[in-house]
Structure 1
Amino acid sequence: MSAPPAVLADRDAELSGAAVRRLTRRATAARADTTVAARLAEAWGSLVSVAIGVAVLAGTVASLRERVTLAGAPATATVLPAGVTAALAAVLALAGLVVALDRLGPVSSTPAAAAWWLPLPAGRRDLLRGELGRVVAAVAGTAAVAALPLALTLTDAPSLGGVAAVLAGTAGTAAALVGAVALGQTRGGGGRAAPVAGAVAVGLAAAAVGSATVLAATGGGELPPLPGLPAGWAVLPGAAAVLLLAGALAGLGRLGAGQLRALGATSQYASASALSLDTRDLGRALAARSPREPRRGRRFPRVAGAWQAVVAADRTALGRSPWHLGQVAVAVAVPVLVARTDGLGALPVAVWGACAAGWALAAVAAGHPARQAQLVPALDRLLPLSAAGVTVARAVVPLAVLAVVTTLTGLLIGVAGGTPALWTGLCAATAPAWAAAALRGAFRPEVDWSGPVVSTPMGALPTGVGATLVQGVDVGLVGSLPLAAALVSGGPTPLWLAVQLGWSVLLCAGALALVARRPSGPG
């Protein structure tokens, strides 16, 4: 295949990273079939979609704020100012961003680029500079767009300067995080930022939950609100981003080809999983770690049967995944923090939604061993157990995990109320439904791309894709409806406790029966 004239014109130019990137852009443009008009139309469509999303989110936040203003008495003692909870939510979001950057690599190389670019005798720093710039622009732009509706609706009288400061500070913070992770990557610290960020997020969430519970139980009043930000605060994240990105750029030449290829393969795997709407593979990509020698060996406990072997293997798989254990800790903290927050604690819908979100996160963590088994279904069929027996054995660990999570949630929420035992029992009664949700989500069928598709702002998607993606969480949400009714009607009662337990067990049995009858093919 002959090269385009624009590329041949530079054949005698000095080979450098910038020259290679320039030649690549020219070659791509010379063979591109997309016209300028098509690109403008695509950009306009993307802009309209983003504007619609921002407007919908802003309307939702404004509606929630009005409900908080008109809310009555809280379901339990509220001791957290809204600003403290919002700051903690921001820390959790930033920790998630650091984890994603560390797992996928702010600087990586796709297999195609690694095969062509990396062996060239060109400066690697100039070759990779564009990749880092694209990641910074994407992360900072997404963070600013996500912060826009919050900046417009969370202040009483939003001004142009105040909104601009929030957007600039958010974008600068996101860019600084990219620079910090990239700097650590260039200094051989790749894979270390995610555990640190997760530990900080879990520690802060646990500290906030502990402080709120103690204050609520002892009647010690509210936590003091956070101090206001000084004028010009938005300049600090931007300055930090400039310094960190400059250090990262200076060290791009030290990155090895093997590390770039590995991160590029993981990023491509995650991108393909997101485009194919396979959230299980996306979770596997984000949870992947570079192989390290374990600190100490672990022995399996003695087992007396096949089902006990399944339970022991699931327990070991979950215990060797600190990522999912951290999810379990955050899952307990989320509903407690919402229930203890001033304003939100008086909204039954907000408290129930926080419980559902936290327990769904715990169900995802508890379903990790089942998702591993879904990868190789032949292993389960080698066991001397029926399909129903394997399903029941796989449900033991999720049921134990969800029982602990829901019981702690109910205990921490109800400790300052008049009926802590009813709160604990009502929340714990939802555990069977969420345990079944963990298995149903792990063994749900793959998205069927062979049938008809529909056009959406995200591209062509198969019909019925929504029904496939919600398999699992649907059981948990429906199984928690008696809890929602109890919150709306004034609080937990023995009748609602009995209804919740019976309804949850019934749904659990039905969902596990459907899982046991899953097709024999993969997934």
Structure 2
Amino acid sequence: MSTAASVTAELTGTGVRRFTRRATARRADTSWLTLGGDLLSALTTAGVVVAVLGGAFSALRERIAARPPAPATDLPGELTALVAALVVAAAVVALLSRLGPLSATPAAAAWWLPLPADRRGLLRGDLRRVGAVAVVAAVVVALPVVLAAPAAPTLLEVVVTVLAAALLALLAVGVLVLLQARSLTGWVAPAAGSLATVAVVVPAVLGTVGAGGSGWTWVPAAPDLPLPVLAGVPLLLAAGALLAADRVSGRVPAGALRDRGTAVLVASVSALSLDTRELGRALGTPVHPPRRARRWARVHTPWQAVVAGDLAVTTRSPWRWGQLAIGTALPVLAARTDGLGGVPALVAVAVVLGWSLAAVALGEPSRQAHGAPAADRSLPLGARDVVRARALVPLAGLVVVCAVSAGLVGLGWEWAALGAATAPAWAGAAVRGGYRPELDWSGPVLSSPVGAVPVTVVFTLLRGPDLGILGSVPLVIGLLLGVVPPLLLGVALGWSVLLGLVAVETAQRRRS
């Protein structure tokens, strides 16, 4: 009886995890002293990062406060900080829904899941790790937002904000596990993307309307409630969600755990090897087939077939439309925000980030063509002709994005013309980035915090966006001047077309 009882106790989920942990510890070369040193190093690094961020945001706040208020800035800084927090939170929730939150690596799925042990105990460790990762992500998101507030926050405000963000992150993890147990997480990522799009587009539109004279009166503020209520309600909700998640974790199907574990493994390897293309494929949204077949009656030549295929790929995914909307509205949001709109360098950074996002969205056909080149080779076109045809859809889309975005930033037709003149460079950057080669691991490598990486990793990752950034130099000059001279329009168009041609012609060339 004692032997059977010991075997039964050992085959509980907690016992299997304990046995695995002890077996790993016996075969590991890491000592407690090494783990303590690594923990101390991580805490020191985190403290240095927080100190640097706090000092940088404090200095930036003082510089912004010392500048005179810029015209046509109508959004309060608190609202823009809240928008940034919502966007990052939506991205984290979408990431958790794609990768789990509960998952089993291929090794764990092959050994743990077939055992006659309760799955709830087996997955409890994963639930704790996911909760810890969510708390760290919430702190990393909330701390810069509260430090970037226009008014200098007190220590109590910082602590309460970070604590509330951590509790909300735990609440989100618990709710996601409840949805995963019922196989209902498919709508979470699209909903999070829609929330991020609305959070960026609506304030940008309202700020632009307010710049015309209606004005903005609402400033976001915390509710006037006692501190125990502000801290107690999120704590109770988070605790209840985690307890419910622990109770239903055993109902998650093994196939779902195995699939999510494979995605986690691929994403982890891609992130550590800095393979952003493979990381995007692991985290990409599924593309659903259209409800009805499309008839391309006007497609008669091979280059028209390439353009039609690129249109189908681009318009089939709703998230591509969301990326284009965010890329258009992000510079407008920065230009309409009090403090940010008066610093041309910050508006230029928002322009580069937004238009880079739009270029990435429109470069999806080029990335797919690079991953499966057999379709392009079957066409009666040369390699350069195919690349030139693939630049037409990004060019058309970026002309609209850049013209609308720049026109709303500067509130004038000359700014819209300057944005449209910059579009060829970003269209070439979209194609060049999609066809960029894989990382070359045969050459020398460089030691980094994530391991060994090729010394040419920066050149490879920036292949494409580098020419787009160079093409935006005339726009940056216009932001610094505050006006758009006619000569600048001609220079911008010639410079952008030249960079776009260089990008398209060198899209398939490899670095020697």
Alignment TM-score, normalising by the size of structure 2: 0.93
Aligned to 2:78: 83
User: Post-superposition shift, 1:150?
Assistant: 4.2
Quick one: which of 398, 413, 427 aligns to 2:419? Answer: 427
Mapped pair 1:191 → 2:183: no
Aligned to 1:131: 126
Q: Number of aligned pairs?
A: 506
When residues 301 and 83 of structure 1 are mapped into structure 2, their CA distance, relative to the original with a 3 A threshold, is: farther
Trace 1:428-467 onto structure 2 (pairs within 5 A): 428-467=420-459
User: Post-superposition shift, 1:519?
Assistant: 8.4
Quick one: which of 217, 228, 231 aligns to 1:223? Answer: 217
Alpha-carbon separation, structure 2, partners of 1:34 and 1:311: 56
Alpha-carbon separation, structure 2, partners of 1:443 and 1:468: 11
User: Post-superposition shift, 1:293?
Assistant: 6.7
Aligned to 2:253: 256
Alpha-carbon separation, structure 2, partners of 1:256 and 1:465: 39
Trace 1:238-387 onto structure 2 (pairs within 5 A): 238-289=235-286, 295-387=291-383
User: Post-superposition shift, 1:284?
Assistant: 1.4
- Note if contact 1:88-1:205 (Cα within 8 Å) is conserved in structure 2: yes
When residues 67 and 381 of structure 1 are mapped into structure 2, their CA distance, relative to the original with a 3 A threshold, is: farther
Mapped pair 1:488 → 2:485: no
- Note if contact 2:106-2:258 (Cα within 8 Å) is conserved in structure 1: yes
Deviations 1:71-97, CA, capped at 9 Å, x for gaps = 2452x5111111111111111111111
User: Post-superposition shift, 1:192?
Assistant: 1.3
User: Post-superposition shift, 1:146?
Assistant: 4.0
Alpha-carbon separation, structure 1, partners of 2:46 and 2:278: 26
Alpha-carbon separation, structure 2, partners of 1:180 and 1:297: 38
Alpha-carbon separation, structure 1, partners of 2:233 and 2:483: 46
Alpha-carbon separation, structure 1, partners of 2:129 and 2:331: 36
User: What's the secondary structure of 2:439's corresponding residue?
Assistant: coil
Alpha-carbon separation, structure 1, partners of 2:449 and 2:388: 40
- Note if contact 1:332-1:409 (Cα within 8 Å) is conserved in structure 2: yes
Deviations 1:444-467, CA, capped at 9 Å, x for gaps = 121122222222233322212112
Alpha-carbon separation, structure 2, partners of 1:287 and 1:318: 14
Aligned to 1:237: 234
Alpha-carbon separation, structure 2, partners of 1:211 and 1:159: 30
- Note if contact 1:125-1:253 (Cα within 8 Å) is conserved in structure 2: yes
Deviations 1:274-324, CA, capped at 9 Å, x for gaps = 0110111111111143x8675444444541111111111111011111122
- Note if contact 1:166-1:234 (Cα within 8 Å) is conserved in structure 2: no
Alpha-carbon separation, structure 2, partners of 1:92 and 1:153: 16
Alpha-carbon separation, structure 2, partners of 1:206 and 1:151: 22
Aligned to 1:4: none
Quick one: which of 35, 41, 45 aligns to 1:49? Answer: 45
Trace 1:192-207 onto structure 2 (pairs within 5 A): 192-207=187-202
User: What's the secondary structure of 2:73's corresponding residue?
Assistant: coil
Aligned to 1:159: 154
When residues 340 and 332 of structure 1 are mapped into structure 2, their CA distance, relative to the original with a 3 A threshold, is: same
User: What's the secondary structure of 2:186's corresponding residue?
Assistant: coil
Aligned to 1:22: 18
Alpha-carbon separation, structure 2, partners of 1:398 and 1:452: 35
Alpha-carbon separation, structure 2, partners of 1:92 and 1:426: 28
Deviations 1:17-70, CA, capped at 9 Å, x for gaps = 111111111111111122222222322333333333333333332232223112
When residues 10 and 148 of structure 1 are mapped into structure 2, their CA distance, relative to the original with a 3 A threshold, is: farther
Percent identical among aligned pairs is: 49
Q: Which moved more, 1:496-505 or 1:457-466?
A: 457-466
Alpha-carbon separation, structure 2, partners of 1:119 and 1:288: 30
Mapped pair 1:110 → 2:105: yes
When residues 455 and 48 of structure 1 are mapped into structure 2, their CA distance, relative to the original with a 3 A threshold, is: farther
User: Post-superposition shift, 1:360?
Assistant: 0.4
When residues 59 and 430 of structure 1 are mapped into structure 2, their CA distance, relative to the original with a 3 A threshold, is: farther
- Note if contact 1:432-1:508 (Cα within 8 Å) is conserved in structure 2: yes
One-letter code of the match for 1:236? V
Alpha-carbon separation, structure 2, partners of 1:54 and 1:505: 43
Alpha-carbon separation, structure 1, partners of 2:473 and 2:88: 28
Deviations 1:252-272, CA, capped at 9 Å, x for gaps = 121111111111111111111
Deviations 1:196-239, CA, capped at 9 Å, x for gaps = 1112222233322222222222x012232123333422443333
When residues 200 and 296 of structure 1 are mapped into structure 2, their CA distance, relative to the original with a 3 A threshold, is: farther
Deviations 1:89-111, CA, capped at 9 Å, x for gaps = 11111111111111111111111
- Note if contact 1:78-1:222 (Cα within 8 Å) is conserved in structure 2: no
**Gapped regions of structure 1 (runs ≥ 5):** 1-8
When residues 439 and 60 of structure 1 are mapped into structure 2, their CA distance, relative to the original with a 3 A threshold, is: farther
Alpha-carbon separation, structure 2, partners of 1:153 and 1:490: 26
Aligned to 2:507: 515
Aligned to 1:144: 139
Alpha-carbon separation, structure 2, partners of 1:443 and 1:16: 50
- Note if contact 2:407-2:414 (Cα within 8 Å) is conserved in structure 1: no
